[in-house]
Amino acid sequence: MKIEATGLEHFYGHEKVLDGVDLTIDSGSFTAIIGESGSGKTTLLSILSTLLQPTKGITRYDGKRLSELGNIDRFRRHNIGFVFQFHYLISYLTLRENIALGAIDESRIESLLHSLGIAKLSHRYSDEVSGGERQRAAIARALVNAPSVVFADEPTGNLDSKNALGVYKLFREFSHQGTGFVVASHDKKIADYADVIIEMEDGIVKQIHQ
């Protein structure tokens, strides 16, 4: 799925936090959004991922505007995955049950558990595994419906650097298999793994490195 944004502006009250953002995100690529704190990364990610309506400007998904996508829950379920800074695994469900929660069909679960290295832990609850393992389960949950794009905001914010690099590697591997990743991060190291780097500053796109 190709995502195009044109003329995005966003206000929180009177404060303008996005000031004319234009960009295109192609499927099957790993895009990193980097920039100082407060530069508008999270806001841009939320708009691109349909969670937030921009004050001005248009987002298109394979040429269709948001209003033309039909039921937005359904659209999200089939096309978009999310990974947050916190894993948000439901504590009374096992890792496997968490992954299965939003699954349209469960056929991918086993292979995902294996490729993320948590197959042996799948029957455990989230408080019975490590932070890195939790985040990998959250990534599996995001991937279970084979979405076109996965959006992640500071997905490594709670991980040590070794686990963080592991997550970037996973993103790169899955993007080579065709899933797009759009990841907002403070971490400069993400640049070593991403295909495209969008640098934000004060609500505008300062630079795009391919």
Partner 1 sequence: MITPIKALRKNRFKTALIFISMSVSIAAIFLISAISGGVVSMYSSMLKTDGDIIVTQKGIADTFFSDINRSAADEIAAINGVREVSALILGAAPVDPLPIVGIYGASKNRFKSYALKQGLYPSSGEVMLGSKIYETLKHPKTISLSKKEFRVSGVFKSRIGFEDGGVVMGLEDAGAVFHKSASIFLLALNDLGKSDAIVAQINKTYPQMEAKTTDGFIDSYNQFKIIKTSSDVIGAMAFLMGILGIVSMMSMVVNDRRAEFGIMRSIGLSSRVIIFKLLGETLIIALLAFAVAYGVSEAVLELIKHADKFQGYINGEITAALAIKVFVVSVVMALFGTLLPAVYAARVDPMSLIQRGGA
Q: Point out which residues bind partner 1 (CB under 8 A).
A: 42, 45-46, 51-52, 73-78, 80-82, 84, 86-88, 90-93, 97, 101-102, 141-142, 145, 153
DSSP string over 68-90: GS--HHHHHHHHEEEE-SS----
Q: Which of 37, 67, 71, 91 is the binder for ligand ATP (CB under 6 A)?
A: 37
- Give which of 142, 149, 139 is closest to 3, Cα–Cα: 149
Of 37 and 67, nearer to ligand ATP (C-beta) is 37
Q: How many CB atoms lie within 10 A of CB 177?
A: 10
Of 144 and 198, nearer to ligand ATP (C-beta) is 198
Tell me whether residue 28 is exposed, middle or buried, using C-beta atoms within 10 angstroms of its C-beta: 0 to 12, 13 to 18, 19 or more: middle
Of 70 and 210, nearer to partner 1 (C-beta) is 70
Closest contact distance (angstroms) between CB of 208 and ligand ATP is: 16
One-letter identity of residue 188: K
Give me the 7-46 binding string for Mg ion, x by CB under 5 A, dash otherwise: -----------------------------------x----
Of 42 and 55, nearer to Mg ion (C-beta) is 42
Closest contact distance (angstroms) between CB of 24 and partner 1 is: 22
Residue 39 makes contact with ligand ATP by CB under 6 A: yes
Residue 49 φ/ψ, nearest 5 degrees: -90, 10
Give SS3 for 188: helix
Closest contact distance (angstroms) between CB of 210 and partner 1 is: 27
Q: Exposed e or buried b for every residue in 94-122, given b needs 16+ CB within 10 A?
A: bbbebbbeeeeeeebbeebbebbebeebb
From the list 11-19, 58-66, 130-138, 174-182, the region that binds ligand ATP by CB under 6 A is 11-19
Q: How many CB atoms lie within 10 A of CB 172?
A: 15
Residue 163 makes contact with Mg ion by CB under 5 A: no
In angstroms, the CA 37 to CA 51 distance is: 20
Give which of partner 1, Mg ion, ligand ATP, none residue 84 binds (C-beta under 5 to 8 Å, depending on kind): partner 1
Which residues in this chain contact Mg ion in the complex, by CB under 5 A? Answer: 42
Which residues in this chain contact ligand ATP in the complex, by CB under 6 A? Answer: 12, 15, 17, 35, 37-43, 186
